[in-house]
Amino acid sequence: MTNSQLEKQVYEKLLPVYGHNESLSMQRFLFSALHGKQNHEWLLLRNSEVSETLKTRVETAIPLLLNHMPVQYVVGKTWFYDLELSVEPGVLIPRPETEELVRAIVLKHHLDKSVEILDIGTGSGAIALSLCSQLPFAKVSAADISDIALTVAAKNALNLKLDINLYKADFLNEEAYSLFGKYNIIVSNPPYVKESEKQFMLPNVLDYEPFEALFVPDSDPLVFYRKILAFASSHLYERGEVWFEINESEAVNVARLFTDNGFGNIRIYNDFKGKERFVSGVFNFGDQDYA
């Protein structure tokens, strides 16, 4: 069997469960993660015989995919902002929207000669590591409550030779705050999906991704934003910034929390799907001399 015949076979097996677009992108992701070659190299091999190793790996993957395991967990890795990151069940798979949050911070800060950053709820380390690789003068720290996340983030930092400080901390508990110093930028993509929104989510997310990474109670959906902004008001340098990824239905409420905590220059940004997905603000902005 040739490589392209195996690709076609995989696509056809996925098709009844996932439909055309999803099956095609899953099949492509699977193959590129498993063969590890550049796209142009792989194209030259399309009519070659499939290697036994690749065939075995693909055959092991199919039943897992048909069982809705996310392809990134099946292969144990994903790509985020040009970085290859290990991921495993217990750690959230970074989303493409979050790359846009990183891009906005990089655009604003790429000329800074020194900048201290804290990423709260770092998961795989996606935000912290991409900022560290894009901002050469940045000193980056990252925190999470989950041991699995911290282990995976540490492994990713080591593989990528990026130096970040990792902290285990529960940000809902103020006692943890004394571990931390001061920062120019605090960034977070905290859990923000309301439990009532579970019904709209797919089995690949609900059955495999960590509940604690995603969900917040409907009774207090902004709990992480409130806690992090209160933390930030004593852990930011003058004119330090907070950048959040948010639930699209909460932009105005999150913006109000920024105001309540003494932030100014508050901005709401849309993601590539046109949803209000990010909010940023500057601490003590109102007290500053504009000259």
Interface residue list for ligand GLN (CB under 6 A):
95, 189, 191-193, 205, 214, 245
Nearer to ligand SAM, 165 or 284 (CB): 165
Q: What gap in Å lies between CA 33 and CA 38, rounded to an integer?
A: 10
In the list ligand SAM, ligand GLN, none, the entry touching 94 (Cβ below 5 to 8 angstroms by class) is ligand SAM
Helix (H) or strand (E) holding 283: strand 276-283
Nearer to ligand GLN, 100 or 245 (CB): 245
Rg (CA), the chain: 21
Q: Give ∠ CA 121-227-133 in degrees, rounded to 5.
A: 30
Among 41, 170, 174, 207, binds ligand SAM (CB under 6 A): 170
In the list ligand SAM, ligand GLN, none, the entry touching 193 (Cβ below 5 to 8 angstroms by class) is ligand GLN
**What minimum distance in Å lies between the beta carbon of 95 and ligand GLN?**
5
Note whether 221 binds ligand SAM by CB under 6 A.
no
Among 18, 58, 123, 258, binds ligand SAM (CB under 6 A): 123
Q: Return the structure tokens found at 128.
A: 């912290």
In the list ligand GLN, ligand SAM, none, the entry touching 271 (Cβ below 5 to 8 angstroms by class) is none
Q: Which of residues 135-154 bind ligand SAM (CB under 6 A)?
A: 143-146, 149
Amino acid at 113: K
Nearer to ligand SAM, 15 or 195 (CB): 195
Judged by CB under 6 A, which stretch of 11-19, 24-32, 119-127, 249-257 contacts ligand SAM? Answer: 119-127
Q: Return the structure tokens found at 265.
A: 């220059």
Q: What gap in Å lies between CA 135 and CA 249, rounded to an integer?
A: 31
Cα-flanking dihedrals φ and ψ of residue 140, to 5°? -115, 130
Give Cβ neighbours of residue 159 (< 8 Å, ≥ 6 apart). Answer: 84, 86
Q: What is the DSSP code string of 18-44? A: HHHHHHHHHHHHHHHHHH---HHHHHH
Note whether 230 binds ligand SAM by CB under 6 A.
no
Determine the straight-line distance between the first and last CA of the chain, rounded to whole angstroms. 70
Among residues 54, 13, 20, 23, the alpha carbon closest in space to that of 36 is found at 54
Note whether 70 binds ligand SAM by CB under 6 A.
no
**What minimum distance in Å lies between the beta carbon of 72 and ligand SAM?**
11
In the list ligand GLN, ligand SAM, none, the entry touching 127 (Cβ below 5 to 8 angstroms by class) is ligand SAM
**What minimum distance in Å lies between the beta carbon of 131 and ligand GLN?**
17
Torsion angle of C-alpha atoms 175, 179, 184, 186, degrees rounded to 10: -50
Among 6, 50, 61, 92, binds ligand SAM (CB under 6 A): 92
